[in-house]
């Protein structure tokens, strides 16, 4: 694989695949800032082909794969030469409307990938935030909280299916005041990680450690989240379709499906999801 050295390499390769493309297909929607972070940390490599490019982002002990191809037929032709798809642990996300993804899913399944998990996006339009329940135990995380936040995320979520941030990403989010924490006797008992741009906010992770569930930190966290985003008009998040408890909790706060789904596919080297 070729290490990526500049953001320009990424966008140039995408444009080359797009040029005159009759049936361009991709699962890659890059954000320049995040691409630069991946490059700065040596995480991004690529395999270049005549009509397609495959990007691999290293994440712990596996890779996320992103593809851009001039057509589905070009994708099918070029994918056979990408050795890493079978020699490394690899996952990929296919995002879109349910009906639009069926052919791509079927293609990747034919190459040995399997459906690992399915998430769907739910949204909440602006409304009066829930009233805070007395004095809140919730504050913005401080730099020293980053390791504890990472540990809680890795206990609460599956690294292959839910894109858990790395430590440097958590540190940046803390610096940007994008992580709220609830503490009990100095210990990070719960967290809520979000990203707000303009009038839209995405809730990325909301978790409370099992031993603190009875203390109602979860509701305190989400109430504070709505309070600090009082000018936001739309709230989004992705939730695992089989996480019935989480779906019910989000529904309680006004979130409903908006039609987008995310199928996470994994090759045979990725261990099976352990049921919650």
230-248 pLDDT per residue, tens? 999 999 999 999 999 999 9
Give yes or no for residue 96 having a pLDDT over 60: yes
Q: Which residue spans of the chain are classified as CATH 3.40.630.30?
A: 127-232
| Neighbour-count burial of 48, counting CB atoms closer than 10 A to its CB (0-12 exposed, 13-18 middle, 19+ buried) | middle
Global confidence as pTM: 0.93
- Asked if 218 and 206 touch (Cβ cutoff 8 Å), the reply is yes
pLDDT digits (tens, 9 = 90+) for 99-108: 999 999 999 9
- Asked if 90 and 121 touch (Cβ cutoff 8 Å), the reply is no
What fold is seen in the domain 127-232?
A: Aminopeptidase (3.40.630)
Residue 213 vs residues 189, 205, 209: alpha-carbon distances, Å: 9, 16, 7
pLDDT digits (tens, 9 = 90+) for 26-68: 999 999 999 999 999 999 999 999 899 999 999 999 999 999 9
Residue 212 vs residues 136, 142, 188, 190: alpha-carbon distances, Å: 15, 20, 10, 8
Structure confidence at residue 127 as a pLDDT band (50, 70, 90): confident
């Amino acid at each position: 694989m070729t290490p990526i050295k500049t953001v320009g390499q990424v966008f140039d390769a995408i444009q080359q695949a797009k040029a005159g493309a009759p049936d361009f297909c991709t699962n890659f929607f890059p954000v320049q800032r995040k691409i630069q972070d991946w490059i700065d940390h040596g995480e991004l490599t690529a395999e270049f082909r005549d009509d397609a490019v495959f990007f691999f982002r290293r994440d712990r002990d596996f890779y996320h794969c992103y593809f851009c191809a001039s057509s589905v037929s070009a994708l099918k032709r070029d994918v056979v030469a990408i050795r890493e798809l079978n020699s490394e642990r690899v996952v990929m996300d296919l995002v879109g409307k349910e009906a639009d993804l069926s052919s791509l899913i079927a293609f990747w399944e034919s190459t040995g990938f399997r459906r690992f998990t399915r998430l769907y996006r739910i949204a909440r339009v602006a409304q009066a935030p829930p009233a805070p329940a007395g004095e809140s135990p919730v504050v913005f995380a401080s730099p020293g909280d980053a390791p504890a936040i990472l540990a809680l995320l890795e206990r609460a979520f599956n690294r292959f299916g839910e894109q858990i941030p790395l430590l440097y990403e958590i540190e940046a989010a803390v610096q940007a005041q994008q992580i709220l924490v609830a503490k009990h006797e100095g210990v990070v008992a719960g967290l809520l990680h979000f990203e707000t741009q303009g009038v839209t906010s995405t809730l990325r992770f909301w978790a409370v450690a099992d031993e603190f569930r009875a203390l109602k930190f979860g509701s305190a966290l989400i109430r504070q989240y709505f309070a600090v985003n009082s000018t936001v008009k739309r709230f989004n998040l992705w939730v695992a379709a089989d996480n019935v408890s989480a779906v019910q909790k989000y529904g309680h706060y006004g979130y409903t499906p908006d039609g987008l789904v995310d199928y996470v596919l994994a090759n045979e080297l990725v261990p099976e999801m352990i049921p919650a």
